Every structure is written in structure tokens, then in C-alpha cells.
Amino acid sequence: MGKVYVFDHPLIQHKLTYIRDKSTGTKEFRELVDEVASLMAFEITRDLPLKEVEIETPVIKATSKVLSGKKIGIIPILRAGLGMVDGILKLIPAAKVGHIGLYRDPQTLQPVEYYVKLPSDVEERDFIVVDPMLATGGSAVEAINSLKKRGAKNIKFMCLIAAPEGVEVVKKEHPDVDIYIAALDEQLNDHGYIVPGLGDAGDRLFGTK
């Protein structure tokens, strides 16, 4: 069964409070999402493999560790996932970025796929699927389905805020996928919004409505 990690670091919790606050404007919202994505990327990369290399310090020859060059792919779910990409790339700049476009039908709440563009070497990469919100779980499940259908084997899912309902759905449909969350909220409301949540992530990020 996939593991669920909730990052309750004080810096993340502090920034999330301002992300949630409805009086936070688009510019600040964007900056905060970017910062939290970086902080989460620091944790999510904790298990990246290392290899030893020989170096010469000013004092002595030594062996030291560098990243082994594992290939990483970041997959934002459009639109709102885009807000998390740069923050992750600050820490792993060599990662490639694919895109999966999904929107949630407001009546059925079912995800509708409208765009997929992935790195060509899907089978060789480890993927981090990113989206600020995991609500019913439909979008995350569909994005992961889409990646797996094209050959992806190692996938992590990272979001800012999750509802317990969505976490259960992803765990059930994709038990091999670990889930990384900044905050696990209480529930969904009747419109499929996370409570207390932050509202519509895409609209707040891009200033639309």
C-alpha cells in the first residue's frame, strides 16, 4: 500500500495559512505556492540515490557523494499544478517537465483529459505528479492512469492540500504511489471543494474567475 506523508514543518504550515487566506492576492499566492513547493521538494527528494566520486579538497584527496543522476520527471496537472513546477526545479533543475491537462466537470466532478505531453523516455524516469489540490481524487487518479498507460513505473504524487476522501481514492486505485501532502484537511463540501481548503487553486493562481 502506498505511504502517505504529511509535511507539517513550521515553515510550510506558516506559508499555508497565508495561501488559505482569501485576502491573499494573486501575486503573493503564486509566490507562496512556489515556496511551499520548494520546501516539499526538499523532503520528497530525501531518498534520491547517491554515488561516490573522487575529489581533491585543498587539504587531501577524498571520496565524496553526488547525486547518481537518476532521471526525474515532474508532471504538473494543468492548470494549477503549473504553480508548483518552478519551486521544484529550483532544487532539481535537470528534471524534465511533462504536462497533463485535466479539468473537473463542475456537474459530474469527473476529470476530463484535454492534453498530454511527456518526456520521450517515460519508462526510464521517476515521476512526481504535482497539483495543489487532491479533492475527490479523480484528477490525480486519471493523471496517474495516463502516465502508467504510457509506461511510467515509479510515480509519487505531491499536493498542498488533500481531503481524506481523495487520499483514500488514490491509495485504492494506485497502491504503488506514495502521496506527499502539506496539509490533510477535514472533508469535501457538497460541491467537491476541500474544507477548509483554499478555494479554487487555478483561479487564485492565475487571477481568473
Told to judge if 34 belongs to the known catalytic residues of this protein, a careful annotator would answer no
Segment contacting ligand URA by CB under 6 A, of 17-25, 91-99, 116-124, 200-208: 200-208
Segment contacting ligand PRP by CB under 6 A, of 40-48, 86-94, 127-135, 172-180: 127-135
Q: Does 194 bind ligand URA (CB under 6 A)?
A: yes
Binding site partner of 128, from ligand URA, ligand PRP, none, Cβ cut-off 5-8 A by kind: none
Which of 33, 77, 85, 135 lies at the binding interface for ligand URA (CB under 6 A)? 135
Q: How many CA atoms lie within 13 A of 52 on its CB side?
A: 4
Answer for the pair 166, 173: CB distance below 8 angstroms, yes or no: no
Binding site partner of 146, from ligand PRP, ligand URA, none, Cβ cut-off 5-8 A by kind: none
Rounded to whole angstroms, how far apart are CA atoms 94 and 117? 18
Is 69 exposed, middle or buried, given 0-12, 13-18 or 19+ CB atoms closer than 10 A?
exposed
Among 138, 145, 143, which Cα is nearest to 75's?
143
Q: Does 197 bind ligand PRP (CB under 6 A)?
A: no
37 annotated ligand-binding residue = no
User: In 71-163, which residue ranges form alpha helices assigned H by DSSP?
Assistant: 82-89, 138-149
- Residues near ligand URA (CB under 6 A) are 133, 135, 192-194, 197, 200-202
